[in-house]
């Protein structure tokens, strides 16, 4: 069983560098709705018996580029970990601040974020169970931050990984085999 986990293509969106909490939340929604840049990526050439995509358009659009004329199986289990502002303020704060503090809140299971780390782990566990039950070669087009949790859960059940594990660039992939 071989699973190729691919981060979606680059999104054609320019983030505001400074945001109030309301503006940051709006930017996150706009990013989720933005198109991808039409770039070619290289992935292992094999016959994938199933191709999974998240519910977000950037994942689906990436799959259309990588696997034209194929059928995709959409799953909310591989959606990106949602991000929102860490507190309410009209004061403009750097984009890096909002990203960092929001992800820290996720890490400590803060209810301020739309999803906690524990909930993300449960989603990843459920997806790993799904692909293990499939027991076939699959491609998974998902999201960078979520990939860390997914790969951790795959390792726990005995998948061997090859590829980068620190920061996933757009179009980058990790191969997992069992």
pLDDT tens digits, residue range 120-153?
Answer: 999 999 999 999 999 999 999 999 999 999 999 9
State the pLDDT confidence band at 110, using cuts at 50, 70 and 90: very high
- Residue 39: give the domain boundaries: 2-177
Q: What is the CATH number of the domain that holds 102?
A: 3.40.50.1240
Q: What is the dihedral of CA 113, 117, 123, 125, to 10 degrees?
A: 180
pLDDT in tens, 63-85: 999 999 899 999 999 999 999 99
- pTM (2 decimals)? 0.93
Tabulate helix, strand, coil % of the chain (nearest 5): 40, 15, 45
Residue labelled with tokens 């977000």? 56
User: DSSP for 111-155?
Assistant: TTSSS-HHHHHHHHHHHHHHHHHHTS-EEEEE-HHHHHHHHHHHH
Long-range contacts of 85-89 (CB under 8 A, 24+ apart): 85/19, 85/21, 85/22, 85/24, 85/25, 86/21, 86/110, 86/112, 87/21, 87/112, 88/21, 88/22, 89/20, 89/21
State the pLDDT confidence band at 42, using cuts at 50, 70 and 90: confident
- Contact status, residue 76 vs residue 55, Cβ threshold 8 Å: yes
| Structural domain count, the chain | 1
């Amino acid at each position: 069983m071989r699973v190729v986990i691919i981060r979606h293509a680059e999104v054609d969106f320019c983030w505001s560098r400074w945001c109030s909490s309301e503006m940051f939340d709006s930017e996150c929604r706009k990013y989720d709705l933005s198109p991808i840049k039409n770039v070619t990526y290289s992935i292992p050439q094999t016959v994938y018996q199933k191709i999974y995509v998240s519910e977000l358009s950037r994942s689906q659009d990436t799959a259309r580029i990588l696997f034209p004329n194929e059928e995709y199986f959409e799953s909310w289990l591989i959606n990106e970990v949602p991000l929102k502002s860490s507190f309410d303020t009209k004061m403009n704060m750097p984009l890096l601040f909002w990203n960092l503090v929001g992800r820290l809140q996720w890490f400590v299971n803060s209810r301020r974020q739309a999803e906690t780390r524990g909930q993300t782990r449960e989603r990843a566990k459920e997806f790993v169970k799904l692909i293990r039950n499939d027991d076939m070669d699959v491609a998974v087009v998902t999201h960078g931050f979520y990939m860390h949790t997914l790969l951790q859960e795959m390792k726990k059940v005995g998948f061997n990984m090859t590829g980068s594990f620190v920061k996933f660039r757009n179009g980058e992939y990790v191969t997992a085999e069992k």
